């Protein structure tokens, strides 16, 4: 599994960049990891609302506080899952 970390980090970077393009503030920390913290407030949504709406699509994200969610990628999440997550968030933000 250690050999998969680089791929998880690459996917996390794709997720981070696209979320930022959608207006979501992203903080993945000072190290390149498979974990990112997101603040959906700049895109017009609070963290609990994002978590609740995305759960309807069977995607789970953690709520840390009213303005912060945490997303963690791992070996069970493939590139097509990232595409699905991003398309789902686009739909949520556009409604």
Parse the chain into domains and list their residue ranges: 2-75+83-94
Range with the largest mean pLDDT of 20-34, 52-66, 69-83? 52-66
Q: What is the mean pLDDT of residues 59-65?
A: 95
Hey, what's the torsion of the CAs at 33, 34, 37, 40, to 10 degrees?
Answer: 130
Residue 2 predicted with pLDDT over 80: no
Question: How many whole angstroms separate alpha carbon 81 and alpha carbon 55?
Answer: 14
pLDDT band of 51, cuts 50, 70, 90: very high
Question: How many whole angstroms separate alpha carbon 48 and alpha carbon 88?
Answer: 16
Tell me the pTM.
0.87
Does 3.90.1150.10 match the CATH number of domain 2-75+83-94? yes
Q: For position 1, what pLDDT does the model report?
A: 59
Percent of the chain with pLDDT over 70: 94
Q: For position 6, what pLDDT does the model report?
A: 79
Percent of the chain with pLDDT over 90: 66
């Amino acid at each position: 599994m250690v050999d998969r970390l680089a791929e998880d980090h690459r996917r996390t970077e794709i997720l981070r960049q696209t979320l930022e393009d959608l207006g979501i503030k992203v903080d993945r920390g000072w190290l390149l990891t498979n974990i990112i913290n997101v603040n959906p407030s700049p895109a017009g949504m609070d963290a609990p609302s994002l978590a609740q709406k995305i759960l309807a699509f069977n995607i789970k994200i953690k709520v840390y506080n009213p303005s912060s969610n945490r997303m963690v990628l791992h070996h069970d999440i493939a590139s097509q899952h990232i595409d699905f997550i991003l398309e789902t968030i686009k739909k949520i933000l556009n409604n």
